[in-house]
Amino acid sequence: MKKVRVKVNSIELHWRGKVYHVRINGKVVKILVTFHCLKRMRKWDIKTNDLLETLLFPEEVLKGHFNRYIAHKRYYDHLIRIVYEYKEKIPVVVTVYFPYASRYYQGGKIYEDKILT
């Protein structure tokens, strides 16, 4: 699987976490990653770039509960599973984890949402 490199222009602190300003194709996208998610990233040893690549270039995005979405990207027999929502048109990453792909992966090509449009 080809890795897409994302460029983080800047990071600012927010009362809920950190806002990443990411440059993609000449456009800057703001993404709020909550403190809870940052803690889960440390637990699962998920790198910031892997989180951002999964969120911006997922293999599939499913509809979750309470107006949330779930982005998936496979890494061998696991996948990065990101739960996010929108607040004031900004994606807010609520949590992330690294389960076996066989449990959640739906086969790809499902896009209930796309952050990059």
CATH of domain 7-104: 3.30.2310
Q: Which helix (H) or strand (E) holds 38?
A: helix 35-44
Is pLDDT of 1 > 80?
Answer: no
Q: For residue range 32-62, what is the model confidence (pLDDT) as tens digits? A: 999 999 999 999 999 999 999 999 999 999 9
Where residue 2 falls among pLDDT bands split at 50, 70, 90?
low
Task: Give the pTM.
Answer: 0.93
Q: 96 near 80, Cβ under 8 Å?
A: yes
Token pair recorded at residue 96: 């992330």
